[in-house]
Amino acid sequence: MTISNSMKSTAFMLVALSLVGCGPSVANDSGQLALLGRSYDAGAIVQYQLPKPLREISGLDLMDNGELLAHNDERAVVYRLDHSKGRILGSFRLGRDPVRADFEGIASIGQRVFLITSNGTLYETRYPLFDDERETALIVPYQRYQVGLPCEIEGLTAVSATRLLAVCKNLSDGNDVLRIYAWHAEDNEYEEAPYLSLEESAFSSLLQAGELKKLKRLRPTGITVADDGSLLVLGRHGKDPAIIEIDPDGRVVSLQEFPDKSRHPQPEGIALTREASLVVADEGAKIDNRPNIKGRMGVYKPN
């Protein structure tokens, strides 16, 4: 299937987050990730702990102005993060008593901000004007578009000024192993046919080349788009955290597991900066039977 070449060109900036009293963690891992024609050294990943409200972080979005937005998976509260220190700079909530739902992704088109739930319901608001740059809990109006989809949604991204993509986590019909639906931001409706639908045969070239030993169950949790229109789908390959690269024509380029799996116990959000750094957010989880109370964000720089 051919993916539209009308893609979103988003101005990104490098995310470098740290918390007061909690410096970054630098890995000593070995291994490489090859994505978008670049090599990422897993040994050079820098990870930062996120503030308490983002322990259950569930999505990331880098706006056109370079501001980083994030949300958790329980309430419709959008957090603005300080790019240099990792503090919550401000926040805005959809409704006085924030909407409660299973939120799984965030995306923006200009000043329009979208949150999506696991059942495909979209909530739209506009990025507000802040009287105080550090204002928190600002209440904003919103619209809701409720359209059922035959899958559980686990990620959202914008690929043009009029189109969002929602990636399925669990499929209940068909023979495909990876499916993405498109939402038209002008008509406020989904396309009935999938934007992209891949069956197991789409990964056959990786198996034949020995780049992939076996295709295990795919469970996407996040999605982002590169400037050339390629898609990066974050999630799990079997039980292991992994990334799938798909070119602008809908062909699978690679399926790679992270070299150090312990670094990503529960990957949920993904973003790509203008400098081509890869940003991955993980929900707080237990690691080696030790509670990891805070969520984390890791930055991979290209070699």
Residues 62-72 pLDDT 10s: 888 878 899 99
Joined together, the tokens standing for residue 184 give: 């038209």
What number of other Cβ atoms are within 10 A of residue 80's Cβ? Answer: 23
> How does pLDDT run across 177-203, given as a tens digit for each residue?
999 999 998 888 898 899 999 999 999
**Half-sphere exposure of residue 160, counting CA atoms within 13 Å on the CB side?**
13
Q: Across the strands, what pairs with 68?
A: 62, 81
Beta carbons of 113 and 157 less than 8 angstroms apart: no
| Residue spans of alpha helices (H) in the chain | 204-208
Tokens of 14: 């490098």
Q: Is 58 left (phi over 0), alpha (psi -120 to 50) or beta?
A: alpha
**Does the pLDDT value for residue 239 go beyond 80?**
yes
pTM for the full model? 0.87
pLDDT given at position 29: 47
- Domain architecture of the chain: domains with CATH: 25-300 (2.120.10)
Token pair, residue 281, equals 């957010």
User: What pLDDT, in 10s, does the model give residues 267-298?
Assistant: 999 988 878 889 899 999 766 666 667 888 88
